[in-house]
A and B are shown apart, each in its own frame.
Chain A
């Protein structure tokens, strides 16, 4: 079982739609969680950290459910520019190193 699992998608949504991604992690000792964004053939960039209380940044909301060991990312009012791969990233409990999911591809259609 992979330490971090994501639905690879693609998620094809129209502009203006709300879309949500989930990610599950296997190590209950994990303490830090992040969403990174990666555009096609580009490097990953931090989108937002995920806090226990949940956090919001504009149209983006991230939530953590420790009991079920998953994190989520909600994007409201999708824009064409949101089209990218979203990487779920967890700080490995034993190694203190980042563990990356394989990513979820979002394609926002005009």
Chain B
């Protein structure tokens, strides 16, 4: 299995509070991604990173920010959590970011915003 961990694995928080999710990899892959998965939707890309301090928006980036200060860590922050951000969040990594490059996923974080 790819060396990807996510923390926390489960979190319950209240509306309006800030939340930071962490993705950590030991593979030294350049590309990292944050997705959310909700019933009735496929995984949707929130943000991605193509190197240290290099990030870009995905399909559903509103309400989220990211940071990558080291190759191995990619942080996702909900500045002020809302109930619509209740979801399962997956981090993924890939070596080159090319379309045919396999993405490896972390175990996910289940976030509930009350």
Check B45 against A46 for contact (C-beta < 8 Å): no
Shortest Cβ distance from A88 into chain B, in angstroms? 8
Check A43 against B105 for contact (C-beta < 8 Å): yes
Check A97 against B105 for contact (C-beta < 8 Å): no
Q: What residues on B are CB-neighbors of A1 within 8 Å?
A: none
When the two chains form the complex, which single residue of B40, B99, B107 contacts A43, counting CB atoms closer than 8 Å? B107
Check A44 against B90 for contact (C-beta < 8 Å): yes
The reply on B114 being an interface residue by CB < 8 A is no
Q: Mark A94-110, 1 if CB is under 8 A from B, else 0.
A: 00111111110000000
Give the interface residue-count category, chain B.
20 to 34
Q: What residues on B are CB-neighbors of A103 within 8 Å?
A: 42
When the two chains form the complex, which single residue of A31, A44, A102 contacts B105, counting CB atoms closer than 8 Å? A44
Check B40 against A32 for contact (C-beta < 8 Å): no
The reply on A45 being an interface residue by CB < 8 A is yes
Q: What residues on A are CB-neighbors of B104 within 8 Å?
A: 45
CA distance A27 to B72 in the complex (A): 34
The reply on B63 being an interface residue by CB < 8 A is no
Check B107 against A101 for contact (C-beta < 8 Å): no
Check A96 against B99 for contact (C-beta < 8 Å): yes
When the two chains form the complex, which single residue of B42, B102, B108 contacts A87, counting CB atoms closer than 8 Å? B42
CA distance A102 to B43 in the complex (A): 7
Q: What residues on B are CB-neighbors of A4 within 8 Å?
A: 42
Q: Which residues of A line the B interface, CB within 8 A? A: 4, 31-32, 41-46, 49, 87, 91, 96-103
Q: Which residues of B line the A interface, CB within 8 A? A: 35, 40-45, 48, 58-59, 90, 99-100, 102-108
8 contacts between A and B (CB under 8 A): A4-B42, A41-B108, A87-B43, A96-B99, A97-B48, A98-B45, A102-B40, A102-B42
